[in-house]
Amino acid sequence: MKEIEHVALIGLGAVGTVLATRLHDRLPGRFTIIADAGRQEKLRRQGILFNGKRYDFAFADASRPADSILIATKAVALPEAIEAITPHVGPQTLILSLLNGIDSEQTLAERFGPERVLYSYFLGHPSLREGNSVAHDGEYRIYFGEADNRCPSDNVRRIGALFDRTGIPYEIPQDMISALWQKFVINIGCNQTTALLRRPYGHLQRNERAMTLARRMMEEAAGVAGMLKIAGAERMTDRAEEVIRSMNPEGKSSMLQDVEAGRPTEVDIFAGTLCRLAAETGYPVPWNRAALQILSAL
């Protein structure tokens, strides 16, 4: 099993910075950022502040492929990110997409081949970004793996070994497709509700009407999961509510942060994807249709 030595990351935002600072500290000289000339210039000038400490990262050199590439851009930037990482992908490169939603791995597998892509996502307290300043309390895990991890593949073990060496907390779910859908149900509820109401997690935790709104949207997502025969669909809404209740009350979902910063939201990979799948399966999703309409109109 070939050890992962050189790691590159694209998307030095809220989630990317949490991982980049850890990899920078634990893989000296072997961790780099993939960024275009404009972003490189800005990063050289301003650095990134993580919990108040300035970080200056090295940039990836396309003459040597990375052993692993982590993608942490927003979904709208995935096509650009794919072009940007292409020169850094070699025959042994393993790609992990930390994007929310259930589609990015498929898009990456179509471009680079399924043998180079693992499923993954970030779950925990939200990471907060304002400009080049990111704050996070360390409460998170990376969930990753192949679709079925009852017998972990070499690639899964390689990434597990990297995370062990660098102290990145992780879990390898046996059924990664079910886990990805569980995360999707959580995002459908908490990202969309916090963005619609423009309130942090504490509001959902205290206000039963807000939590009911989140539950209605999550029940629809879990209903579609059931139609698609995703394992554990019937437990996903209750589990998602538990996750929302465990968030830090002042925490803001990535979608609420986008709304507040005037950035485009990722509603297309949440309610947008759900509405498309609902039309295919014939499952009614009126709450998510309304959320899609409102959030796309911002």
Ligand X SMILES: CC(C)(CO)C(=O)C(=O)O
Ligand Y SMILES: NC(=O)C1=CN([C@@H]2O[C@H](COP(=O)(O)OP(=O)(O)OC[C@H]3O[C@@H](n4cnc5c(N)ncnc54)[C@H](OP(=O)(O)O)[C@@H]3O)[C@@H](O)[C@H]2O)C=CC1
Applying CB under 6 A, the residues found at the interface with ligand Y are 10-16, 35-36, 39, 72-75, 77, 80-81, 84, 98-100, 122, 126-127, 129, 254, 266
State how beta strands 48-50 and 7-10 pair.
unpaired
In whole angstroms, the minimum distance from the beta carbon of 129 to ligand Y comes to 4
Q: State the minimum distance, in angstroms, from the CB of residue 194 to ligand X.
A: 8
The answer to the question of residue 145 lying near ligand X (CB under 6 A) is no
Task: Specify whether the CB–CB gap between 94 and 119 falls below 8 A.
Answer: no
Question: Which residue has tokens 């590439």?
Answer: 69
Least separation in angstroms between CB 249 and ligand Y: 15
Q: Which residues contact 160 (CB under 8 A, 6 or more apart)?
A: 152, 170, 172
Per the structure block, which two tokens stand in for 83? 């072009």
CB 195 within 8 A of CB 295: yes
Q: Which is nearer to ligand Y, 17 or 155 (CB)?
A: 17
Q: Which of residues 152-191 bind ligand X (CB under 6 A)?
A: 186-187, 190-191
Q: State which residue, 122 or 283, has the beta carbon closest to ligand Y.
A: 122
Minimum CB separation from ligand Y for residue 73, in Å?
Answer: 4
Which entry of ligand X, ligand Y, none binds 145, CB below 5 to 8 A by partner kind?
A: none
Query: Which residue has its beta carbon closest to ligand Y?
Result: 13
Q: 160 or 264: whose CB is closer to ligand Y?
A: 264
Residues from 89 through 118 that contact ligand X (CB under 6 A) = 100
Binding mask 232-261 for ligand X (x = CB under 6 A): ---------------------xx-------
Token pair in block for residue 266: 């990722």
Q: Which does 186 bind (CB under 5 to 8 A by kind): ligand Y, ligand X, none?
A: ligand X
Rg (CA), the chain: 19
String of DSSP letters for 94-142: EEEE--SSSSHHHHHHHHH-GGGEEEEEEEESPPEEETTEEE--S-EEE
Query: Which residue lies nearer to ligand Y by CB, 15 or 94?
Result: 15
Buried b (16+ CB within 10 A) or exposed e, 142-173: bbbbbeebeebeebbebbbebbeebebebebb
Instruction: Provide the pairing of β-strand 128-130 with 31-33.
Output: unpaired
Q: How many residues does the chain have?
A: 298
- Collapsing DSSP to helix, strand or coil, 50 comes out as strand
146/266 with CB nearer ligand X: 266
Query: According to CB under 6 A, which one of 49, 123, 227, 294 is a site residue for ligand X?
Result: 123
Nearest distance from C-beta of residue 137 to ligand X, angstroms: 12
Q: Indicate which single residue of 126, 145, 189, 200 sits in contact with ligand X (rule: CB under 6 A).
A: 126
Is 48 among the residues that bind ligand X (CB under 6 A)? no
| Least spacing, CB of residue 2 vs ligand Y, in Å | 27
Give the angle 218-219-223 at the CA atoms, nearest 5°. 115
Binding site for ligand X (CB under 6 A): 100, 123-124, 126, 186-187, 190-191, 253-254
